[in-house]
Structure 1
Amino acid sequence: MKTYSIQQINDILKGVIVGNTTQSITAPEQLEMAKDTEISFIGSKKYEKLWETSKACAAIVNEDISIEPGENRAFIKVKNADLAMSQVLELFAPPTPLFDTDIHPTAVVDKTATIGNGTRIGAGSYVGPNVQLGENVTLYPNVTILDECTIGKNTVIWSGAVVRERCHIGMDCILHPNSTIGADGFGFRPDPERGLVKVPQIGNVVLGNGVEIGANSCVDRGKFSSTVLGDGCKIDNLVQIGHNSKLGKFCIMAGHSGLAGSVTLGNGVIIGGSASIKDHITIGDGAMVGAGSGVAADVPAGKTVLGYPAVDARDALKQWAILKRLAKN
């Protein structure tokens, strides 16, 4: 079991210790569930009231904390408690699943594939013709990488994920279980004689560096050219990204949200959970779309929109207030 003193943890966080605890810290835990050997965090002043009843011996807190830790308890004051807690979680993180051998004997690796140094391929995985895996790539069991894909160094792909042909994944990416990169885009056209005719999807998907794709999320290939996710994009579970969409750097999409085809997101766009974005929409740099919203028109840079259909957040809140008053009459 990993254990640390409060001073050892602060040596990493570079914060200010208030109070003291002689307990050896065995794990991080949320305030309500923490034991007296565990460290927690208070990332907002509204949670200060939970400290009195928490059993945690220590907490990482923001500099504006207004309470004292108490007897044999300590705070580590930092500028951003949420970021500091992520460092503590790294300290206590258990090891990832082990590989007995770098390439499992049941994995199928085409003879034309290029495998970088330190790369590991789990049981039942398939690596197709002319695939290039960079250094220190990890494919957990039952991953499929089809023909002519490239996977950048240090990328981790979890079980059940599929990367279809000719797609390109950058460095330091994470694809979570059962995510699919490069499935056909949703392209059909009515024909009086044949019903719905499938439109061939001959493009691919390009993921930048440091992209993370959540479990069971889908990024469709372009009808032509590429569906592109810029460096640092973070995609939650159960997200749909339609064909030929283009995401800038460091975009966030929360669970159950979706982009129709040919949507353009600028840098740093945030899409809330269950939000839907109509095809051919452009959302500017730093804009935010509230959870459950439906976006049917372009959103300027820096704007926040809410509602269904989505409008400027201030207008949406006014509309909701008026409806609430009407409902009382």
Structure 2
Amino acid sequence: MKSFSINEIKNLVNGNLIFEINEVITGLETVDNATIGQATFIGHKKFAKNFENSKASVVIVSEGIELKDNPTCAQIKVTNADLAMAKLLEAFSPETPSFISNISPVAVIDKSAIIGKNVKVGAGCYVGKNTVVEDNVTLYPNVTVFDDCKIGQNTIVWSGTVIRERSEIGAHCIFHNNVSIGADGFGYRPSDDGRSLVKIPHIGNVIIGNNVEIGANSCVDRAKFSSTIIGDGCKIDNLVQIAHNCILGRSCIMAGSSGLAGSVTLGDGVIIGGSASIKDHTTIHSGAIVGAGSGVLADVPAGKTVLGYPATDAKEKMKQWVALRKLGRA
């Protein structure tokens, strides 16, 4: 079990200790559930009232939030409690699953594949021909990487993930369980006689930048031509669909169950809320936000927040909802 003194906690979060007690911290918990020996966090003033009955031994609190003194709980002031929490969660993180040997004897690696230094390949993995796996990559058991792929340094790929042929993955990426990279895009056209559907082949690939994280059971389809591109620093939640020929800029966020139809373009820093759907060939410009559950049918200007179905300016949509509610009461 990992443990830290309160002074060590203060140094880890670069905070200001304004009230100290002598206690060893062995874990982290919410303000309502924390007990002796645990640290908790308050990043918004609405949770300050919960602190009065908290049994935590130390609270990390954002500047500007005043708490009543608690003789059994130390206080550490920080600029941002959420960012401090991220540092402490990393410090308290348990060890990841270990490997008996770096390359499992029951992994299958093609002779033409290039495997870098300190690469870990778990049981049941398959690495195809002409694939390059750079230094310090970890492939957990039952990962499949097909032919002519490249995986950058320090990338971690969790069990069940399939990376299809010709995909290019950057450095320091994380793919969680059962991610699909580079499967065929979804494309069909009616046959000449109108009695069946003709599959449109997709012969492009997927290119994923550095520091990209993709959640469990999410899919990034390969392009019809050229590439589907995920920019550096993008964070993709679980159960997300990114269709063929989409292009995401830097540091985009897509929450769970959201989806992009084919050939959607996201600028830098775009945020897509959970369960939102984006129509094909749509551009959402840099800094725009799409609210949860929204349906985007047209381009969204830079910095704009849109809501609803069809998605429109958030302030205008709120006015519409208020008006509809008033009509219902009439």
Class of the TM-score when normalised by the shorter of the 2 chains = over 0.9
TM-score, normalising length: structure 1: 0.99
Counterpart CA distance in 1 for 2:191 and 2:69 is: 71
Deviant stretches of 4+, over 4 Å: none
For 1:277-304, what per-residue CA distance to the aligned partner results, in whole angstroms no more than 9, with x for missing partners? 0000000100000000000000000000
Report the alpha carbon displacement of residue 67 of structure 1 after superposing the two structures with TM: 1.4
1:73 paired to 2:73 = yes
Matched letter for residue 298 of structure 1? D
Report the alpha carbon displacement of residue 16 of structure 1 after superposing the two structures with TM: 0.5
1:46 paired to 2:46 = yes
Question: Contact 1:19–1:72 (CA<8 Å) still a contact in 2?
Answer: no
1:304-319 equivalences in 2 (<5 Å):
304-319=305-320
Find the counterpart in structure 2 of residue 246 from structure 1.
247
Matched letter for residue 242 of structure 1? A
1:150-299 equivalences in 2 (<5 Å):
150-193=150-193, 195-299=196-300
Report the alpha carbon displacement of residue 255 of structure 1 after superposing the two structures with TM: 0.1
Matched letter for residue 32 of structure 1? D
Question: Contact 1:305–1:311 (CA<8 Å) still a contact in 2?
Answer: yes
Question: Contact 1:289–1:304 (CA<8 Å) still a contact in 2?
Answer: yes
Which of 86-95 and 45-54 deviates more? Answer: 45-54
For 1:231-275, what per-residue CA distance to the aligned partner results, in whole angstroms no more than 9, with x for missing partners? 000000000001000000000000000000000000000000000
Question: Contact 1:281–1:296 (CA<8 Å) still a contact in 2?
Answer: yes
Matched letter for residue 112 of structure 1? S
Matched letter for residue 212 of structure 1? E
Report the alpha carbon displacement of residue 160 of structure 1 after superposing the two structures with TM: 0.1
SS in structure 2 of the partner of residue 70 of structure 1: coil
Q: Tell me, which stretches of 5 or more residues in structure 1 are unaligned?
A: none
SS in structure 1 of the partner of residue 322 of structure 2: helix
1:86 paired to 2:71 = no
Matched letter for residue 110 of structure 2? D
Counterpart CA distance in 1 for 2:130 and 2:53 is: 59
What count of residue pairs does the alignment treat as equivalent? 329
Counterpart CA distance in 2 for 1:202 and 1:3 is: 52
Find the counterpart in structure 1 of residue 119 from structure 2.
119
Report the alpha carbon displacement of residue 192 of structure 1 after superposing the two structures with TM: 3.8
Counterpart CA distance in 2 for 1:9 and 1:244 is: 46
Counterpart CA distance in 2 for 1:263 and 1:23 is: 53
Counterpart CA distance in 2 for 1:188 and 1:31 is: 53
Counterpart CA distance in 2 for 1:284 and 1:306 is: 15
Counterpart CA distance in 2 for 1:138 and 1:69 is: 47
Counterpart CA distance in 2 for 1:203 and 1:177 is: 24
Counterpart CA distance in 2 for 1:59 and 1:134 is: 42
Find the counterpart in structure 2 of residue 23 from structure 1.
23
For 1:125-179, what per-residue CA distance to the aligned partner results, in whole angstroms no more than 9, with x for missing partners? 0000000000000000000000000000000000000000000000000000000
Question: Contact 2:212–2:234 (CA<8 Å) still a contact in 1?
Answer: yes
Report the alpha carbon displacement of residue 72 of structure 1 after superposing the two structures with TM: 2.6
1:325 paired to 2:326 = yes
Matched letter for residue 144 of structure 1? T
Counterpart CA distance in 1 for 2:52 and 2:3 is: 24
Report the alpha carbon displacement of residue 41 of structure 1 after superposing the two structures with TM: 0.3
Report the alpha carbon displacement of residue 2 of structure 1 after superposing the two structures with TM: 1.2
Report the alpha carbon displacement of residue 31 of structure 1 after superposing the two structures with TM: 1.2
Question: Contact 2:204–2:225 (CA<8 Å) still a contact in 1?
Answer: yes
Matched letter for residue 28 of structure 2? P
Report the alpha carbon displacement of residue 90 of structure 1 after superposing the two structures with TM: 0.9
Report the alpha carbon displacement of residue 35 of structure 1 after superposing the two structures with TM: 1.1
TM-score, normalising length: structure 2: 0.99
Question: Contact 1:239–1:256 (CA<8 Å) still a contact in 2?
Answer: yes
Question: Contact 1:22–1:72 (CA<8 Å) still a contact in 2?
Answer: no
Q: Tell me, which stretches of 5 or more residues in structure 2 are unaligned?
A: none
SS in structure 2 of the partner of residue 111 of structure 1: coil
Question: Contact 1:162–1:181 (CA<8 Å) still a contact in 2?
Answer: yes
Counterpart CA distance in 2 for 1:36 and 1:30 is: 12
Report the alpha carbon displacement of residue 199 of structure 1 after superposing the two structures with TM: 0.3
Question: Contact 2:52–2:68 (CA<8 Å) still a contact in 1?
Answer: no
Counterpart CA distance in 1 for 2:75 and 2:294 is: 39
Find the counterpart in structure 1 of residue 146 from structure 2.
146
Question: Contact 1:18–1:69 (CA<8 Å) still a contact in 2?
Answer: no
SS in structure 2 of the partner of residue 52 of structure 1: helix
